Amino acid sequence: MKYLALITLLISSFVAKAQDLQMAETMRSEGKIYVVIAVLCVILLGLILYLISIDRKVSKLEKEINS
């Protein structure tokens, strides 16, 4: 997670170019885009953890039924 953010920031710093035209000023000038990213990551991780728990439950059932 930490490394991912780091890698992303590294990549984005490489590819970042001089910005002449400001898009979405309110969103970025406040610097709150990171709040959106945090929220999205929480939702994604929540859903993924849920999927993993379903996956494990099925594995458990497979073991029970196949034995």
Residues that bind other proteins (CB under 8 A): 1, 4-5, 7-9, 11-12, 15-17, 19, 21, 23-24, 27, 33, 36-37, 40-41, 44-45, 48, 51-52, 54-55, 58, 61-62, 65-66
Q: How far is the CB of 19 from other proteins (least distance, A)?
A: 7
Nearest approach in angstroms of CB 59 to other proteins is 8
Question: How close are the terminal C-alpha atoms of the chain, in Å?
Answer: 38
Sequence-ordered list of residues with C-beta below 8 angstroms from that of 27, at least 6 positions apart, any chain? 33
Alpha helical stretches, state H, the chain: 2-15, 25-29, 33-66
